[in-house]
């Protein structure tokens, strides 16, 4: 079975540009979460979507937006890129969207490394 | 104040020794606790989950949880050079805001042959 797939794997953008990152969850998983991991730090929660609805939002500016499609894949959009947006963007899928995360935890994709120059 | 705290390390242990990684968290409503391993340039990989006070063993790994002290630890027995990685502690507080994970900054473990 395919795991969580993310595209593209690497991306270089210029300040002020916009970027769209894509994620396909594990088959059967209905929840997708997005995390930003700056070099040397732990991942920080950006968004969670479950059954196509936003279920949680982290402390990120409105330049960050996301959506989930009927097939449960998801896109993360970042507008007006800043140098500080350079990071590894991780997508994680899980079976459920509410209640404690089960013992299988999240399964992370391999990430998209975004460099803003 | 950070919600999940870890010593950044590096923690250096000789091959075959026990590596002890520690994590503290601030939210007493935390319900689920996870340890992820992350190799340089790769994504996090789940190695242990724990929900109840006490110890949980899986192969060479043992997770320990003490909710009264708000403390989670991971022991790695018979450490191998391949265990060299950053270990991330993550905590889940389930609620109406979905099921997000809050991560610590990670501890870098180095196992020397």
> What per-residue confidence (pLDDT) applies to B81?
97
As a whole number, mean pLDDT of residues B80-96 equals: 88
Across the interface, whether the CB atoms of B105 and A110 are under 8 A apart is answered no
Give chain A positions within 8 Å (CB) of B99. Answer: 31, 48, 55-56, 94, 96-101
B30 in reach of chain A (CB within 8 A):
no
Query: Confidence band (pLDDT; 50, 70, 90) for A96?
Result: confident
Across the interface, whether the CB atoms of B99 and A108 are under 8 A apart is answered no
Tokens 């899928």 belong to residue: A93
Nearest to B35 by CA among B27, B26, B23, B25: B23
What value does the CA radius of gyration of chain A take, rounded to a whole number of Å?
13
As a whole number, mean pLDDT of residues A89-106 equals: 77
> What per-residue confidence (pLDDT) applies to A72?
94
> What per-residue confidence (pLDDT) applies to A28?
87
Nearest to B98 by CA among A77, A85, A74, A31: A31
> What per-residue confidence (pLDDT) applies to B30?
86
Judge residue A96's burial from the number of C-beta atoms within 10 Å of its C-beta, 0-12 exposed, 13-18 middle, 19 or more buried: middle
Give the minimum alpha-carbon distance from A1 to chain B in angstroms, rounded to a whole number: 17
> Among partner residues B42, B44, B99, which is closest to A43 by beta-carbon distance?
B44
> What per-residue confidence (pLDDT) applies to B1?
55
Encode pLDDT of A22-60 as tens digits.
999 999 888 999 999 999 999 999 999 988 899 889 999
Nearest to A38 by CA among A92, A87, A110, A72: A87
As a whole number, mean pLDDT of residues A12-31 equals: 95
- pLDDT above 60: residue A21: yes
Region of poorest pLDDT, from A89-103, B58-72, B74-88: A89-103
Across the interface, whether the CB atoms of A44 and B103 are under 8 A apart is answered yes
As a whole number, mean pLDDT of residues A60-76 equals: 96
> What per-residue confidence (pLDDT) applies to B43?
94
């Amino acid at each position: 079975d395919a795991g969580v797939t993310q595209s593209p794997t690497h991306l270089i953008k210029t300040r002020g540009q916009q970027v769209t990152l894509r994620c396909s969850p594990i088959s059967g998983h209905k929840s997708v979460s997005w995390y930003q991991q700056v070099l040397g730090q732990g991942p920080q929660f950006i968004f969670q979507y479950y059954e196509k609805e936003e279920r949680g939002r982290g402390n990120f500016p409105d330049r960050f937006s996301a959506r989930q499609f009927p097939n449960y894949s998801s896109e993360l959009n970042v507008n007006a890129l800043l140098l500080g947006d350079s990071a590894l963007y991780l997508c994680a899928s899980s079976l459920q969207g509410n209640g404690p995360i089960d013992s299988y935890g999240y399964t992370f994709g391999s990430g998209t490394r975004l460099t803003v120059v | 104040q950070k919600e999940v705290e870890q010593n950044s390390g590096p923690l250096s242990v000789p091959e075959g020794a026990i590596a002890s990684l520690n994590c503290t968290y601030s939210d007493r409503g935390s319900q689920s606790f996870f340890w992820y391993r992350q190799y340089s340039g790769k994504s996090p990989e789940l190695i242990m989950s724990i929900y109840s006070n006490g110890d949980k063993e899986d192969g060479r790994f043992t997770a320990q949880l003490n909710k009264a002290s708000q403390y989670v630890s991971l022991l790695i027995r018979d450490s191998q050079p391949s265990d060299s990685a950053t270990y991330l502690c993550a905590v889940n507080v389930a609620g109406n805001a979905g099921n997000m994970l809050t991560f610590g900054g990670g501890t870098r473990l180095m196992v020397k042959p």
